[in-house]
Amino acid sequence: MTDVTSSKSTRRPHHWRHDLIELAALFTAVVVADTIAKTIAKGPDGPYLLVFSAIALVATAAFHTWWARRHGHASHAPPAGATGGRPTADLPAAAGSTRNDKETEEESGPPVETTLWRMRTTVADTPGSLAALCTVLARLGVDILTLQTHPLADGTVDEFLLRAPADLSAKALARETAAAGGRDTWTERADAHDLVDTPTRVLGLATRTALDAAELPLALRQLLGRCTLHSVPAVSLTGRPTGEQAPVEGVLEETVMRLRDPHGGTLVIERPHLPFTPTEFARARALVELDARLGPRVPRSQDVLTLPEGNEITVRRADRRDLAAARAMHDRCSARTLGLRYHGPVGDADRYLDHLLSPRFGRTLAVQTASGRLVALGHLLWDGDETEVALMVEDDWQRRGIGSELLGRLVAMAEETGCDSVYAVTQSSNTGMVAAMRALNLPLDYQIEEGTLVITARLAPAPRPAARTQEQPHEGARRAER
């Protein structure tokens, strides 16, 4: 309820003595007026005195009106209590004030440059702990845009999206947060993409996952922030069990999350710089369960292109349902083509196909002729927090621009998903792949790893650049075995 009291309720109570006094005053005024009128009428200058009295009365009334208008505002100013305790300084300016909006803007000064931050800190689960933290942020001139809470057994993790003055550093923000009772504080620069509220963002990720099975790893990355995701199959390429099989409900171990892959095996998500919360674990598990219920799916859109010699080809998405056609293409390829693609024993090439065509490891584009024969494959593979591109074109269809067409489409997909770079593992003798990478007109980095050439193309900056993990000495060998 408000403390404001209406003018009707503040009137003094009516009393009979007021009526008696008013009646006596009226009677006296009538007697005096009658006496004056008789005196003036019987006197020799009666009409002149009557006119003079009227002029004096009009002048007195005009003076009283002017005086009331000039000094009435100060005498009728509302008391502080009439606004529910709000200070008089907060009231709007009076009608006679000479201040205007322009003067107010000049006093406020130019707008302050700000920066968006994501901050996560743990506070005690006691009344007033969050209020103390918000008070410190307000004192620093920090605006809280969004707030999420993640309950824990020994406290609450509060995740903020903040708009702070540009001169406020991350260290100063963490230091003041710690002084207010926050612990394990983590800060990261944010951008406009983080302004979307969490329910809307999660629904969008669920929609993308429902439309395309290959979107699940990307959705988990965007849901959990900067993290590394690996899909470990239950059976190795040689057919031996790997021993990786997470329980149905999954496992949460602070900075490591293990979820059962609907296609077999385990999804391992790591975020060493920031422990996962039970809320994040529940959201990730819900996305994986959604993927499992929907089953295999891939967008069936396709593009028909005409090669320079006049032949028509169709470029479309592929998955494990194209396994038989991909193996038939392998049988038609020469040993040199297979060796340049897989960098290993030619006899093991067929074992990679089931892995490569799985949407869990990335996206695959297939090229087929007008007769339906598969003649080329292009892969965009999620490699932890990096992205690999790989191509293979059947011998009879090489040097026709198919490889460049596939590579351009794969790089466009990588840019859409927010990747900041893609790499290709090949050999210096594979002049076709080297030429296709150069034709992208992107900044390229070249590196020799254990006899293989790794070409990295830097793409347009992602909304929030992913952290680059340091590669171990054997990383190149792992890439070359693909």
Confidence category of residue 473, pLDDT binned at 50, 70, 90: very low
pLDDT per residue as tens digits for the range 374-427: 999 999 988 767 889 999 999 999 988 999 999 999 999 888 887 888 999 988
- Spatial neighbors of 221 by CB under 8 A, at least 6 apart, are 227, 229, 385, 466
The predicted structure's pLDDT at residue 11: 47
Residues with Cβ < 8 Å from 280, sequence gap 6 or more?
Answer: 150, 223, 224, 257
> What domains sit in the chain, N to C, each tagged with a CATH number?
114-191 (3.30.70.260), 198-294 (no CATH), 302-480 (3.40.630.30)
Say yes or no to pLDDT of 458 above 80.
yes
pLDDT of residue 260: 85
CB contact set of 226 (below 8 Å; sequence gap of 6+): 188, 271, 273, 385, 464, 466, 467
DSSP-derived 3-state class of residue 449: strand
pLDDT score for 92: 38
Of 148, 172, 162, give the one whose Cα is nearest residue 115.
Answer: 162
Tell me if residue 400 falls in helix, strand or coil: coil
Q: What is the pLDDT of residues 354-376, one digit of tens each?
A: 888 888 788 999 999 988 899 99
**CA 87 – CA 85 distance, rounded (Å):** 6
Average pLDDT (116-126) is: 89
CA distances from 223 to 216, 282, 285, 291 (A): 10, 11, 11, 15
The pLDDT of residue 43 is 63
CA–CA separation, 302 and 308 (whole Å) = 19
Percentages (nearest 5) of helix, strand, coil residues in the chain? 40, 25, 35
For the entire predicted model, the pTM comes to: 0.59
- Give tens-digit pLDDT for 235-246: 665 566 666 666
Range 149-177 average pLDDT: 88
Q: Residue 459: its pLDDT value, please?
A: 87
The CB density around residue 325, as the number of other CB atoms within 10 Å, is 17
The pLDDT tens digits of the residues spanning 256-309 come to 999 988 777 888 899 988 899 998 999 999 999 998 888 888 887 788 888 888
pLDDT attached to residue 352: 76
* DSSP conformation letters of 104-162: HHHHH-SPPPEEEEEEEEEE-SSTTHHHHHHHHHHHTT-EEEEEEEEE-SSSEEEEEEE
Averaged confidence pLDDT in the chain? 77
Q: How much is the pLDDT for 369? A: 92
Question: Which stretch, 8-22, 89-103, 111-125, 462-476, has highest mean pLDDT?
Answer: 111-125
Q: Average the pLDDT over 328-346 and give the result.
A: 82
What does the alpha-carbon distance between residue 449 and residue 72 come to, in Å, rounded to a whole number? 90
pLDDT computed for residue 397 by the predictor? 92
CA angle 198, 282, 228 (to 5 degrees): 80
Say which amino acid occupies 95. Answer: A
Burial class (CB in 10 A: 0-12, 13-18, 19+), 2: exposed
Q: How confident is the model at residue 466 (pLDDT cuts 50, 70, 90)?
A: very low
C-alpha of 340 from chain center? 42
pLDDT greater at residue 234 or residue 309 = 309
* Range list of H helices, 343-427: 349-356, 402-416
pLDDT tens by residue, 24-48? 766 676 666 667 666 666 666 666 6
